[in-house]
Chains A and B, each alone.
Chain A
């Protein structure tokens, strides 16, 4: 009888027993690095979140936390350096050169790879943004080391190895991944997955400046222009304080209007779970979860969302999670704080009305003042 259809996942059972035998050439790799992503003059908030996380790892390992800033010479880089110290870095590496004015893979990958080869960090963290993913993939390939994408938890093992946990198999399970015999151990983390650490004004500490070993003529790809997103059109979901989202329980695309109505009434951003994007009911930039946006709002209202792991990891950072679902056994009730077992299609209009009634006087006051 055939057993061809039965396969185990791609983790061989023997791997758990793989022993750490760090080759000699990696023995002097030390310290934790965080790549600071400059986004048109500002540091991307994910870099601060990573500095917070990197600080914890560095303290556990009793090593230093370094920030890495790549950019054009000038104020922009200097500001980023100051921010790096304010968010906990012990030292900062800078490569500032004109070709680093806008992000391009070639000069950035070259600068970061050279820095790593010169100063040998044991851990290198990047934000899982379009920039970070573009950069991390090629740097890890050049360095021939392991890269774990989209981690939701980072820790240091008893033997000092980085334990990077991420959702796996389409977000149905979590797995912990190690890079035992290669350095640096690289990981990316999506924005908002880690909490924002406290900013503490500090004097600028030790700064190590490096040259870029490339000139503009060496670089094939040129930037012709940049079209910033229209702020009003672009969902600012990841950083919203209040978010309302809908899932398959809404039954039909037109019922998403109920979610939007509530969001509008309370000044929230709206979003949805993955199946709705797959059905084409909402654009991809509204998707909340492992493969969409990770959110950390003060209030999250999930309507008709069952709460698969891949959604859970995207919303667990919310201060207060309210779940509305007809199924009392839906997994979302395992991580929501407040639950209502009812039909969201009927309940959402009532909730919108109740909020409007309760809040409108205050809103009027605000507008008046």
Chain B
């Protein structure tokens, strides 16, 4: 028996679930394939979820989604070997009826999202890997082959939501294998602690949560970022750097994470915790310039597979969800006009995505990845050290006149990077941010 679906969604992560839910809730006959044992089984870690983007898909998600804590405080740390200089922003305004950002544990969240997808009417198959796209004589994608016996299924359109390392799109030549300099590898751990201990250590109560993001010597001169999210009774802790940097420096991701855990600013926060679940995860970091062709005859690409990730603001899941939703809405529009799922018609997806924050944000920072990458030793090593030195000089009361302290600090910066270098970095950073 040959089954024909309106759409096949490959992958059950954020983008795949957003697409499948949107399609199914509009009455399309949807098949979703997930290679993991269950949705989220490949994604055991903690993450941040942005309410606004999920609300556009499931308005009342707060009723039953497994949310950990809503964020009331964000800390940005610049670290050297023994210190951190921080900007903390905390506001009681974040304690609102419908909070804006939540920490989640993906394994649970994805399971919930998948249940919603099923309830919306989609058929979800787990432990089923899509191995190949099936095309007709004209090259239009008309279905996928799976790794199960008797495993070909057909659809008018295939939504590739297979993640950054998915092989379906690259095998079919729809997109290139991501380059080492456009993909970061993040290693993460879950540190379990009693709820009340987390409350005490981070000064939060109830469901309030706190996020720390850290740059500096913890990434050993590579372009990278450390992060710490508070969940209900665990802490997600991790660090990510570009794959190409790891290759060049011969550093090991797990050694980096170990060093970060032993940093005097981090160690007390996780002391006494029980560590479970070490995992590595690939994150697309290429930004705007790495986005592949997003649509073709009978197919669209969404989420991480399309490099849709804002590395600067550490936003991935909201871009993924939004691209999945937008792709689904485009498909629904084409279908409602009785149009075939041709490349020309599916271009609507790109048009709609260009008009959303997804592409606009990525465009804004299009030069940022290259800048941080080429200049990583300054941004991630020299400057953090100088900043820490400056702060300490300023804090330490030792009888040195303040004017002299300022002079010393300025001199230290100039010695390390030359006046021209500093100005140039500042200008380039400003340009890239603009």
Interface residues, chain A, with chain B CB atoms under 8 Å away? 1-2, 4-6
Instruction: Identify 14 residue pairs between A and B in the complex whose beta-carbon atoms are under 8 Å apart, listed by A's number.
Output: A1-B62, A1-B67, A1-B70, A1-B207, A2-B64, A2-B65, A2-B66, A2-B67, A4-B64, A4-B66, A5-B66, A5-B108, A6-B232, A6-B233
A-B interface contact total, Cβ < 8 Å: 14
Give the chain B neighbours of A6 by CB distance below 8 A. Answer: 232-233
How many Å lie between the Cα of A321 and that of B51 in the bound state? Answer: 54
Chain A nearest CB from B25 CB (Å) reads 21
Chain A nearest CB from B274 CB (Å) reads 11
Question: Of residues A1, A4, A5, A6, which shows the largest number of chain B Cβ atoms within 10 Å of its Cβ?
Answer: A1
Give the chain B neighbours of A1 by CB distance below 8 A. Answer: 62, 67, 70, 207
Give the chain B neighbours of A4 by CB distance below 8 A. Answer: 64, 66
| 11 other A-B residue contacts (CB within 8 Å) besides A1-B67, A2-B65, A6-B232 | A1-B62, A1-B70, A1-B207, A2-B64, A2-B66, A2-B67, A4-B64, A4-B66, A5-B66, A5-B108, A6-B233
Give the chain A neighbours of B233 by CB distance below 8 A. Answer: 6
Give the chain A neighbours of B70 by CB distance below 8 A. Answer: 1
Interface of chain B residues 322 through 337 with chain A (CB within 8 A): none
How many Å lie between the Cα of A5 and that of B67 in the bound state? Answer: 10
A4's closest neighbor in chain B, by CB? B66
Interface of chain B residues 252 through 279 with chain A (CB within 8 A): none
Chain A nearest CB from B156 CB (Å) reads 36
Chain B nearest CB from A50 CB (Å) reads 37
How many Å lie between the Cα of A203 and that of B78 in the bound state? Answer: 83
| Secondary structure class of chain A's binding surface, majority of residues | loop
Interface residues, chain B, with chain A CB atoms under 8 Å away? 62, 64-67, 70, 108, 207, 232-233
B64's closest neighbor in chain A, by CB? A2
How many Å lie between the Cα of A54 and that of B196 in the bound state? Answer: 44
How many Å lie between the Cα of A2 and that of B65 in the bound state? Answer: 6
How many Å lie between the Cα of A2 and that of B207 in the bound state? Answer: 10
Give the chain B neighbours of A5 by CB distance below 8 A. Answer: 66, 108
Give the chain B neighbours of A2 by CB distance below 8 A. Answer: 64-67
How many Å lie between the Cα of A292 and that of B64 in the bound state? Answer: 41
B112's closest neighbor in chain A, by CB? A2
How many Å lie between the Cα of A1 and that of B67 in the bound state? Answer: 6
How many Å lie between the Cα of A4 and that of B233 in the bound state? Answer: 14
B69's closest neighbor in chain A, by CB? A1
How many Å lie between the Cα of A2 and that of B108 in the bound state? Answer: 11
B206's closest neighbor in chain A, by CB? A1
How many Å lie between the Cα of A6 and that of B105 in the bound state? Answer: 13
Chain A nearest CB from B275 CB (Å) reads 11
How many Å lie between the Cα of A226 and that of B70 in the bound state? Answer: 64
Chain B nearest CB from A6 CB (Å) reads 7
How many Å lie between the Cα of A1 and that of B95 in the bound state? Answer: 13
Chain B nearest CB from A287 CB (Å) reads 23
How many Å lie between the Cα of A4 and that of B62 in the bound state? Answer: 12
Give the chain A neighbours of B207 by CB distance below 8 A. Answer: 1
B107's closest neighbor in chain A, by CB? A5
Chain B nearest CB from A9 CB (Å) reads 15
Give the chain A neighbours of B108 by CB distance below 8 A. Answer: 5
How many Å lie between the Cα of A247 and that of B269 in the bound state? Answer: 31
Give the chain A neighbours of B62 by CB distance below 8 A. Answer: 1
How many Å lie between the Cα of A4 and that of B67 in the bound state? Answer: 10
Chain B nearest CB from A171 CB (Å) reads 16
Give the chain A neighbours of B64 by CB distance below 8 A. Answer: 2, 4
Chain B nearest CB from A128 CB (Å) reads 30
Ranked nearest first, the 9 interchain pairs of A and B with the lowest CB-CB distance are A2-B66, A1-B67, A1-B207, A5-B66, A2-B64, A5-B108, A2-B65, A2-B67, A4-B66
B111's closest neighbor in chain A, by CB? A5
Give the chain A neighbours of B65 by CB distance below 8 A. Answer: 2
Give the chain A neighbours of B67 by CB distance below 8 A. Answer: 1-2
How many Å lie between the Cα of A1 and that of B232 in the bound state? Answer: 11
Give the chain A neighbours of B232 by CB distance below 8 A. Answer: 6
How many Å lie between the Cα of A5 and that of B207 in the bound state? Answer: 14
Give the chain A neighbours of B66 by CB distance below 8 A. Answer: 2, 4-5
How many Å lie between the Cα of A304 and that of B393 in the bound state? Answer: 48
Chain B nearest CB from A28 CB (Å) reads 48
Chain A nearest CB from B195 CB (Å) reads 9
Chain A nearest CB from B99 CB (Å) reads 9
How many Å lie between the Cα of A363 and that of B64 in the bound state? Answer: 70
How many Å lie between the Cα of A147 and that of B207 in the bound state? Answer: 42
How many Å lie between the Cα of A100 and that of B187 in the bound state? Answer: 62
